[in-house]
Structure 1
Amino acid sequence: MDLQTVTDAVAAVAVPLFAVTSMIAVGLGHTVSQFLAPLKDVRLVLAGLAANFIVAPAVAFTVIAVFGIPQEARIGLMVLACAAGAPFVLKLSKLARTDMAVSSSLLAVMLLATIGYMPAALPVLLPGVEVAPGAIASVLLLTMFVPLVGAVLLRQFTPTAASMAQRPIGRLSLMAMVVMLANQFLADHRELAGLVGTGTIAAILTFIALTFGLGWALGAWKTGGGAVLGISASQRNMGAATVVVVANFEDSLAVPTVVLAGFLALIVLIPVARWLGRGHGPQIGKALPAH
């Protein structure tokens, strides 16, 4: 059995497992009312939607043009830019000491919006690239929507069981993410090495910095909102992006680009979140008022 066969087999399990368990872990922590709670703050919701679905794709389009990265890497970065609602946002928000209730509720809204946004937006944002909106929608529904809704219903009607399951599911999700990243690095090490010197790494780092900064600016009107929206906009949903690129652009540089971007985001944003949590910066690391 060769290396390619092994890594393909691991990816076939780890990629959907990470996506599904991530959604379940988020859903187990939310009742239906908690999902609806952020809708009361219309301005914050609109700012979050703008940061994730207007600013992030616009920044990706800009850095792609500026750095002139390879076409397949462009696809990977644009898919990632359209994927909001990363479960890892909650870990970053905890490190940054933001209001976890607000971060969780916004995460839920972004997750649901991503399911409808990606199939509609990608064919428009990737002209000339063959994209199957129906396939994208079906993948997202199966790996995100169904697990999320199922977990929320479990939390709604059997809170004790949901509370008991949330921590082990969260750990399983983290393990699946680590395995997925390590496996893709092993499988695509030559392709990843080939990205060096193409401007892709610089483009990804610039994308992370700009989405964080612009997200912060959109949330700066609300105490602590800069941290919430900065993290939300810059930490993209690698699970959703990965299942989409694997299903639609397998055996292309789009897959290692998403993996590389996810890895670089962790390297950049974990220290930033820790720094914010120590109270550095005007209001950015402070918690939002409790609701």
Structure 2
Amino acid sequence: MHTLESLLGLLIHISVPAFAIASMLSMGLRTPLRSFRTQLRDRRTVLSLLGANFVVIPAVGTLIIWVLNGLLPLHIAEGFVIALCAAGAPFVLQLGAMARIPYSETAGPMAVLLLGSIVFMPLVVPFLLQDVQVDAGAVARLLLGTMLSPMIAGIVIAAVFPHLADVLARIAGGVAAVSAVLMFVSGFGSNTVLLLEVLLSPAMLAAAGLVALAFVAGRASGELAGHSLTVPDGPAILSSQRNIAAALLVARAAGDDSRQLVLAILLLSAVGFVMLVPYALATGVVRRKRAGERITPGVLLGIVGPKSD
């Protein structure tokens, strides 16, 4: 049993950076530079997204966790805080496709939030979690090396070799998907005792409440956004799914406390996944019916483009 847990612990140390690098490379390969230019020029949208994700969600979420002090295991609460500080999850591209949101309205904002996370997390996480040993400089280098660099590499490769971009993006996306599965299996499997304790605590309700908070804050930012966003619930989906890759990279830098922090982040991400996927599928069905599109499983899941009658 001890050998199995050690193996799972080793697996998560491999799967987390693999997931981060592969998912960001895939995103860069699929996102043209014009998406970033259009988004950055819309200052109202940028400010509303940054305000929701780096002011409202971390501040209100941390306040809720503080109010629940004593009801949640200490490191579970701290893991939630780390996740609340991490925005710009690559998985929102798939959720956006399910919900029939234009690609540019998820890819551009996601990249803006990722850049914000790289600046925000090294400064704020050590301040909020002073009892957790987190080196701000190490966190910044980690996020730059495993998230920003692969994204830039993907953009450059797509610009220089456009005929290879789609194939490489599919390969990188497949690696990211496999890494994500291994990440959840190893993260939960190496902490089975703690996982059972958490499942019997109010942590699940707290996680659901934090996801709902992020959704409401994102929806409000969508209503305040500028001309580049046409679907107001796009920012809601974008904000609700926190950047698990960035959060896990930061958690792993915490040393001895990392295992419990990782479990909390995976738990919050899993709860968000369970809540957001049905919403994205349901809204996607409604929008596709209004557009007169024939709905197939591939279209509904965002795997292939829409089929018109």
Under a length normalisation based on structure 1, what TM-score does the superposition of the two structures give?
A: 0.91
**What's the offset of the Cα at 1:247?**
2.0
**What's the offset of the Cα at 1:31?**
2.8
Paired residues of 1:51 and 1:229 also in contact (CA < 8 A): no
1:48 and 2:49 correspond: yes
**What's the offset of the Cα at 1:110?**
1.0
Partner residue of 2:170? 167
1:100 and 2:103 correspond: yes
28-37 or 236-245: which moved more?
A: 28-37
Percent identity among equivalent residues? 32
**Equivalence map 1:207-246=2 (5 Å):** 207-221=210-224, 224-246=230-252
Paired residues of 2:75 and 2:260 also in contact (CA < 8 A): yes
Partner residue of 2:124? 121
Structure 1 residue runs of 5 or longer lacking an equivalent are 284-291
- The residue identity in structure 2 corresponding to 1:184 is G
1:83-121 per-position Cα deviation (integer Å, ceiling 9, x unaligned): 111001011111111121121111111111111111011
Q: Using the alignment, how far apart are the partners of 1:141 and 1:3 within structure 2?
A: 32
Partner residue of 1:259? 266
- The residue identity in structure 1 corresponding to 2:186 is N
Q: Using the alignment, how far apart are the partners of 1:5 and 1:127 within structure 2?
A: 28
Go from structure 1 to structure 2 and tell me whether the alpha carbon gap of 1:119 and 1:238 turns closer, same or farther (over 3 Å shift). same
Paired residues of 2:214 and 2:236 also in contact (CA < 8 A): yes
**What's the offset of the Cα at 1:51?**
1.6
Structure 2 SS opposite 1:97 = coil
Structure 2 residue runs of 5 or longer lacking an equivalent are 291-309
Partner residue of 2:182? 179
- The residue identity in structure 1 corresponding to 2:270 is F
Paired residues of 2:134 and 2:253 also in contact (CA < 8 A): no
210-219 or 19-28: which moved more?
A: 210-219
Residue of structure 1 aligned with 2:76, choices 73, 76, 79: 73
Q: Using the alignment, how far apart are the partners of 2:161 and 2:22 within structure 1?
A: 18
**Equivalence map 1:149-164=2 (5 Å):** 149-164=152-167
Q: Using the alignment, how far apart are the partners of 2:13 and 2:132 within structure 1?
A: 24
Paired residues of 2:135 and 2:253 also in contact (CA < 8 A): no
**What's the offset of the Cα at 1:252?**
4.3
- Give me the CA root mean square deviation: 1.9
Partner residue of 1:205? 208
Go from structure 1 to structure 2 and tell me whether the alpha carbon gap of 1:50 and 1:18 turns closer, same or farther (over 3 Å shift). same
Q: Using the alignment, how far apart are the partners of 2:11 and 2:104 within structure 1?
A: 35
Paired residues of 2:143 and 2:246 also in contact (CA < 8 A): yes
Partner residue of 2:307? none
Paired residues of 1:38 and 1:106 also in contact (CA < 8 A): yes
Q: Using the alignment, how far apart are the partners of 1:50 and 1:193 within structure 2?
A: 36
Go from structure 1 to structure 2 and tell me whether the alpha carbon gap of 1:128 and 1:188 turns closer, same or farther (over 3 Å shift). closer
1:32 and 2:33 correspond: yes
Residue of structure 1 aligned with 2:137, choices 134, 138, 145: 134
Q: Using the alignment, how far apart are the partners of 1:19 and 1:268 within structure 2?
A: 22
Partner residue of 1:145? 148
Q: Using the alignment, how far apart are the partners of 1:2 and 1:129 within structure 2?
A: 27
Q: Using the alignment, how far apart are the partners of 1:262 and 1:158 within structure 2?
A: 34
Aligned residues: 281
- The residue identity in structure 1 corresponding to 2:19 is F
Residue of structure 2 aligned with 1:268, choices 252, 275, 279: 275
Paired residues of 1:96 and 1:273 also in contact (CA < 8 A): yes
Paired residues of 1:59 and 1:211 also in contact (CA < 8 A): no
Runs of 4+ in 1 over 4 A off after TM superposition: 221-224, 249-252
212-221 or 222-231: which moved more?
A: 222-231
1:127-152 per-position Cα deviation (integer Å, ceiling 9, x unaligned): 44332101111211111011111111
**What's the offset of the Cα at 1:221?**
4.4
1:46-78 per-position Cα deviation (integer Å, ceiling 9, x unaligned): 111112111220232122023222221121011
Partner residue of 2:15? 14
Residue of structure 2 aligned with 1:277, choices 264, 277, 284: 284
